Structure 1
């Protein structure tokens, strides 16, 4: 079976779709093929046919903490946002990979379950949050995960425990294995609903106050070096507000790069490289990107 034959089975596959339509930066080149699997069966079919046809396979979540280069992505790109079911059982919440982590956190809160409050403002998907061990306001995804259900690139379904996921700062096992997160189960604790929601609304207000949410961005660009904070270093280096093309280091939060209008992924990457170069020169610190950078450069 060829990739496009899957359309006969009700799987919609599009060709040469600009990924800028889906990324939070509003930048990025085209996907050679793009599909939105609606369930685990469709996901397994797509992975199997891509393997059979030796088509490169790339999976992206909610495309929030992501930069896709302007040359786009060869092969098949899967966006899992249609796989977004969330269920609550006792003190556990299970969410499919495409569910927003925000929605998962609020579902938990309304069920009187505490442990995901930190995620109230994280714009990514559950799969993305697990993949990069996303965190905010002192909490990390790994603190709440009980188990993760994945699909390997060879088509095997596995379930990893929290310990087997080898979580660390902005890292998890699936970054190494290439396994595709299907769903995650979070182990939470019972608590009164009102204080949980109050805390989440407070964190979201703090986020709106501190972060440049009025512009497209990829979120926090750099990992925090041990003993340092990225934003203050960028300010001290005189780089806050620096702009290349349409990409600007935010004047509201120096750890963010925003699209002021018409930015390309190349603008983003050139500004990232400039910041890394200057911070290295001034502070002898190698800034590592937190944002995931994928795809092909333009010729």
Structure 2
């Protein structure tokens, strides 16, 4: 790994570290070391990174801000590439913006609102980045990414890159084509926003932010919503109805504030969270005959 690290550093592609603890890069603060951790500072340097890593036969895992991610305590073998600073560019052309995968959604929503551009109000409380939001069609309050996306620049698992239109992204509830048919990662996105009253848009975002602050446990390390809503039912409501709100395994606990969140109360392990997830699934199936699936991305080696 030292040889690969040296080669990447010689190419000046960005930050490169060995055995980086991934709990530093997930919002739930769980995750062991990455053999090789790389933070490219541009799309061009990302391309170089992937080629070098591929030449050495290493597996690659792409991550963003880590807000919807659960990583094992033993970490991830091979290379982990984080799309963060350096892939957080923002270009504006009237109502259309082109934004990098590493750009924080909350920051983007606030900046656009102050310019009187609407469409991102729902994202005012979403803690992830643009890349992750596009990947999973993130949404809230009756809206989602599919409402504003024009096209997305995608890195596919075979290393090729391509722009996909909104239709080609095949968005549905918390999913896109990138999770199924054409596995890949969003590098940047083009959004079409709507001009409106700056005061009204800012007020709407603030309302959603306040709602999240009051109803969701972001004061504790957590990964966001753990389960997809099995519509027309809601996962949090089901967890409450089967009496699991506040239930704890190890240092992982179903939030007392919102039952579709698992919080890390001290030093929770990956196994603690996985055991709690399985217990919730089993209990809801036993008592409600409803299957619920996870929304959080679970990594396994």
- Fold equivalence (TM over 0.5): yes
Kindly report which structure 2 residues correspond to 1:172-251, keeping only aligned pairs within 5 A, or say none.
172-176=176-180, 177-251=182-256
User: Match for residue 96 of structure 1?
Assistant: 100
SS in 2 for 1:280: helix
What is the CA-CA distance between 1:2 and the residue it aligns to?
4.2
Q: State the distance in 2 between where 1:255 and 1:41 align.
A: 39
Give 2:80's aligned residue: 77
* Distance in 1 (alpha carbons) for counterparts of 2:7 and 2:149: 37
CA contact (8 A) 2:61 2:79 kept: yes
Q: What residue is the counterpart of 2:272 in the other structure?
A: 267
What secondary structure sits across from 2:40 in the alignment? coil
SS of alignment partner, residue 62 of structure 2: strand
1:44 aligns with 2:47: yes
Shift of 1:227: 1.6
2:91 and 2:124 map into 1 onto residues whose CA distance is: 17
Off by >2 Å, runs of 4+ in structure 1: 1-4, 151-157, 176-180
Matched, 1:139 2:150: no
Gaps spanning 5+ residues in structure 1: where?
none
1:9-59 Cα offsets, whole Å, 9 max, x none, are 223321111101111001111111101111011100111112222210100
Deviation per CA, 1:75-108: give whole Å up to 9, x if none. Answer: 1101111111122211112110000111121222
Cα deviation, residue 295, structure 1: 3.2
Could you tell me how far 1:155 is from its partner in structure 2?
3.7
CA contact (8 A) 1:102 1:122 kept: yes
Provide the alpha-carbon RMSD of the alignment: 1.3
Deviation at 1:185, TM superposition (A): 0.6
Provide the residue aligned with 2:120 in structure 1: 116
CA distance in structure 1 between the aligned counterparts of 2:146 and 2:54, rounded to whole angstroms: 30
Distance 1:70 1:94, change over 3 A: same
- Alignment coverage as a number of residue pairs: 296
SS of the aligned residue for 2:30 comes to coil
TM-score by length of 1: 0.96
Following superposition, the deviation at residue 3 of structure 1 comes to 5.4
- Scaled by the length of structure 2, what TM-score is found? 0.95
Contact 2:68 2:128 in 1 (8 A): yes
